[in-house]
Amino acid sequence: MKTFRCVCGNRLYFENTDCLQCGRKLGFLPGPLALAALEPAGKDRWTVLTPPDQGPHRFCRNSGDLDGCNWMIPVDEPEPYCLACRLNQVIPNLSKPGNRSLWIRIEKRKRRLVYDLRRLALPVIPKRSPEDEAGLAFAFLEDDPGELEFSDAHQSNHILTGHAHGLITINIAEADDLERERRRHELNEQQRTLLGHFRHESGHYYWDRLVAGGPLQDRIRAVFGDEREDYGEALSRYYRDGPRPDWQDGHVSAYASAHPWEDWAECWAHWLQITDTLETSVAIGLAAAEVLDGDVDERISHWVDLALKINLINRSLDQPDPYPFVLTTPVIDKLRLVEEVIRNSAFSP
Ligand SMILES: [Zn+2]
Ligand SMILES: [Zn+2]
Ligand SMILES: [Zn+2]
């Protein structure tokens, strides 16, 4: 991600709502992907001091007391919610203790995802109705333990994080660090993060939008495998028997070996993670700006070098490797295809 500066020169985080140095109010503008320093200009109206040439803006309805969003909307747009919050179909019950802090964490990751997607010029179009399969929406749901004793364990009171027909469901328990770590352990995963869930599920959504029936489908099938293999059966087999013993040869994670769709979603998530971290490394002076314009192989080799350094620094701090993955040649071939799909989508209507 880029880094941002206030008009006073202070370096800012993407999530900031106030400058701690000059006290100015801050808000994020999803159009120019910039964190703006603001000056009040009347009720619900703010003048943008930086970046230049922006009209007056107001805050998203989830800002203020809700503390759920720092994004803005141009005043001449009628929408009450910002681009990121417009995607919400269901949010947790905020009157229930604990839910509000989980929701705020979830919203932070969702805005990072939307930033990722817009930076890559991917379409982010809110779903208008259940029938609208082209649009994207989110449902942030919680398990309903109150009903567990009345039904068998396989019924739907366990919310599964997943994607279907443009709707991405996130179980809000994944925003609880202890619970997520417990699940990571139980499922024997190398990495399990909240933003990783968003990136992975968005991969399923963009498969439907950009791969299925598209010009690259045959090439993707040749590299990732045939996605017409029964999905439910493949997942049951994965959870029953574990990953294929040779998964490390051709897959970025064990779970990626469960089914070609999961392989795609895992590679997609990795590509978003790689490109975002490379952008950050340029923004903080760890890499030259040309890295971002390099071809896919140059970017991957920069990433392999950077990931090694990040892991080494973390080992010095006695922390686990933040990137505990090996990019084998078959995995790099898959990442190239993800990059090609994303690059092509920027030129499609
Ligand atoms: Zn400032
Ligand atoms: Zn918002
Ligand atoms: Zn998946």
Residue 253, C-beta contacts closer than 8 angstroms, at least 6 positions apart: 189, 190, 191, 247, 266, 325
Residue 144 confidence (pLDDT): 77
Percentage of the chain lying above the pLDDT 70 cut: 95
Average predicted confidence (pLDDT) for the chain: 93
Confidence of residue 344 (pLDDT cuts 50, 70, 90): very high
Long-range pairs of 297-304 with CB within 8 A, sequence gap ≥ 24: 297/332, 297/336, 299/274, 299/275, 300/274, 300/327, 300/332, 300/335, 302/278, 303/274, 303/277, 303/278, 303/327
Confidence of residue 158 (pLDDT cuts 50, 70, 90): confident
Region class of 285: left (phi > 0), else alpha (psi between -120 and 50), else beta: left
pLDDT digits (tens, 9 = 90+) for 75-87: 999 999 999 999 9
Instruction: Find the 183 Cα to ligand 2 centroid distance in Å.
Output: 29
Contact 11/4 with Cβ under 8 angstroms? yes
Residue 145 confidence (pLDDT): 62
The Cα 274–Cα 283 span in angstroms is 14
Instruction: Find the 160 Cα to ligand 2 centroid distance in Å.
Output: 25
Instruction: Find the 38 Cα to ligand 1 centroid distance in Å.
Output: 10
Q: Hey, what amino acid is at 8?
A: C
**What is the pLDDT averaged over residues 138-142?**
95
Instruction: Find the 234 Cα to ligand 2 centroid distance in Å.
Output: 37
Query: Given a cut of 90, is residue 109 above it in pLDDT?
Result: yes
Ligand nearest to the CA of 262: 3
The Cα 158–Cα 340 span in angstroms is 36
Other CB atoms closer than 10 Å to residue 218's CB: what's the count? 9
Confidence of residue 148 (pLDDT cuts 50, 70, 90): very low
Alpha-carbon distance values, 57 to 115, 126, 298 (Å): 19, 21, 39
Residue 341 confidence (pLDDT): 97
Instruction: Find the 102 Cα to ligand 3 centroid distance in Å.
Output: 22
Confidence of residue 156 (pLDDT cuts 50, 70, 90): low
* Sign of the Cα pseudo-torsion (31, 35, 110, 142, in order): negative
Instruction: Find the 188 Cα to ligand 2 centroid distance in Å.
Output: 35
Instruction: Find the 18 Cα to ligand 1 centroid distance in Å.
Output: 8
Ligand nearest to the CA of 261: 3
The Cα 6–Cα 334 span in angstroms is 39
**Which residue in 92, 69, 203 sits closest to 140, CA to CA?**
92
Instruction: Find the 50 Cα to ligand 3 centroid distance in Å.
Output: 39
Q: Which residues surround ligand 1, an ion (CB under 5 A)?
A: 6, 8, 10, 19, 21-22, 24
pLDDT digits (tens, 9 = 90+) for 172-218: 999 999 999 999 999 989 899 999 999 999 999 999 999 999 999 99
Query: Given a cut of 50, is residue 325 above it in pLDDT?
Result: yes
b/e per residue 184-200 (b: at least 16 CB within 10 A): eeeeeeebebbbbbbbb
Residue 349 confidence (pLDDT): 53
pLDDT digits (tens, 9 = 90+) for 2-30: 999 999 999 999 999 999 999 999 999 99
Query: Given a cut of 80, is residue 150 above it in pLDDT?
Result: no
Instruction: Find the 6 Cα to ligand 1 centroid distance in Å.
Output: 5
Instruction: Find the 39 Cα to ligand 1 centroid distance in Å.
Output: 11
Instruction: Find the 164 Cα to ligand 1 centroid distance in Å.
Output: 43
Ligand nearest to the CA of 87: 2
Query: Given a cut of 60, is residue 234 above it in pLDDT?
Result: yes
Q: Any idea how long the chain is?
A: 349
Instruction: Find the 73 Cα to ligand 3 centroid distance in Å.
Output: 32
Ligand nearest to the CA of 265: 3
Instruction: Find the 102 Cα to ligand 1 centroid distance in Å.
Output: 29
**What is the pLDDT averaged over residues 80-96?**
95
Q: Hey, what amino acid is at 226?
A: D
**Which residue in 274, 272, 236, 239 sits closest to 254, CA to CA?**
239
Contact 84/74 with Cβ under 8 angstroms? no
Residue 317 confidence (pLDDT): 98
